[in-house]
Structure 1
């Protein structure tokens, strides 16, 4: 489950700035999210509840908190009485008695209001303001607070307790702390067995933030880098560690993805070798075991990726031997097992070669597999034209033909005996 809080103060401010509505703003950004996620091969969740579709559940949860004396109404607003929940702060390790509301370097109170009984109390329901969307409730027309939306959506979709709750490190306090206080006060059960918080996103060593003006949107980065290279870049850091987006790091990830991609595409040549089985072989158990051990260790994707690169290195070496010498050193059965293992483990991490220009099956020029835009016969004809241009020392024409083939994702390899082999890059 992945929820959308499609009503909050920031959305309302954006709607006013854009002379739009809350619904239009939410729909626009939800659609943009799905577009970016699909390009990054992020699988869809089983459900996507929205706060605006959970109003009844939100009001019911607030009513229960009120009945249990964890919440109180105040002139159209409803607030959570933080001091009523003795375990408040158990996730973040912060204690109310150690906090000085509003002090520099401490925790600022969520919002100032003379309706609160205590500065640390937070809003569960907010009274309607002129021009804002609102829903009728026992406390008057209004809208839900941010924290209660998430508690209610979890409860509606998954029940009183869940296995894993994830989010950014900056949500640990106060958002997740408030979710715990709201949910557990009513259910008397742990909200989640495990909490997973990802590290901050930095840009060239600084935290990415609007105030610094260093925000880079995913869709902008995907104009410069392959989506799979972007995904690989993220996986190269442990999810709990900060990620520093630099041009050098992204270019290195692009190079790394090209290595994996080449290895994943080599199967088209290996499958032509005598002894290649039409039945999928058993996976390489040593590689699978090391991969699983890394993933079982708090999703240690950097170590898991090292297993993939080991397999890719061997496959690339054997693939190059096949291209240049027409044979491999490793037994065909072992090659097939390595490739099948790489493909299987890469899929677990969502790293897949997408069909498209330059991603067609690899060919050595020995047998006809075809390519995007040119047939094998057309490729061979262009290679022959280039050979004749080279004999006539017409280097400009030779380079033109090489560049034309390169535009179709075809790399030429001139061999010592004067012949030329080709393959896709």
Structure 2
């Protein structure tokens, strides 16, 4: 039974709904008596439409603050100065601070804000409004973000009755990780161990992004194999990474990350077009540089730039002191004696969109498909996640953080140390460390 039947209202827009002045206001004008802005008046109108029973944990009583905005309507750090967030990125921050029954009010396009939240793995319910501004009559866009979808369903008819059915619409930003949780629940029920590992490419120098990578790795206890470009590596990198980055180990990312492919061919530094002598010389120089920089923190694993490596050069890697190689899923290869190959499978950066943010739901869909391949015996190696700290945008960092958090909720998941991933290299690693010493 519906406890809140469809309401009917009689109201007037001929006055400021915050101070009561009857003066007509021009579009976008602040009230001359109380200095309220159009977004503040629209927000007040939004909450005036809701009966007290729907504002549990909030109040309809006027607040002592400016314009009658009551901070108790909101959760987290929201204050009257924070309520109208013109910057859409502020929606993500505000949503992170919401309690389970919290609500955030924003001025702006609800559709665009919802799309931004979806791209940033921020599930919630969105009520988008295009309504008349009290006191002025101009149209204003406003958006409510609610944690609890049941609240959104209860609020919608009241807002539509107050502002008109065509002016208010609700939508849901789905949790992109729901399918992953379902798949991991199957692994757990079948008592299987689900192994992941993490590789990050293109390290050349200490930076805030590198420190963010190290902090994320340490917080989630997920070690990272970081591929360093030897020719570009800063001389201070070794000392900068030595102290507070215990979960990072380092491997060789080619030599200079320089494209030697011919016109019209996929980029590669060590493809079949390279002179074999020159290619081997570059790899040898790269190995020497890595050992000099990192000593025992260097793992003799070759990550070819652009994931391209000629079969002939792959066969020579063990003789060059490189006992492991890591490329990307589906790159062709043949087994090489003395060489352990473990690839990555999920690149979280959208390279087709200028190193932008991939759609989280699409990434999760791919990851679930890979997990199912692994569970069905079509893939036998641990699942590798590939990141590029130097270019990642906040949405990509957020996806990675939430991926690590979601997997931490399942006892069947284990994030492997790179030394365990390339465990067949144990004796070679020990030999190389002794040589470096």
**Greater per-residue strand proportion:** 2
Identify whether the pair has TM-score above 0.5, normalized to the shorter chain. Answer: no
TM-score band by shorter chain is under 0.3
TM-score in terms of structure 1 length = 0.26
**Greater per-residue helix proportion:** 1
TM-score in terms of structure 2 length = 0.26
Higher RCO (C-alpha under 8 Å, 6+ residues apart): 2
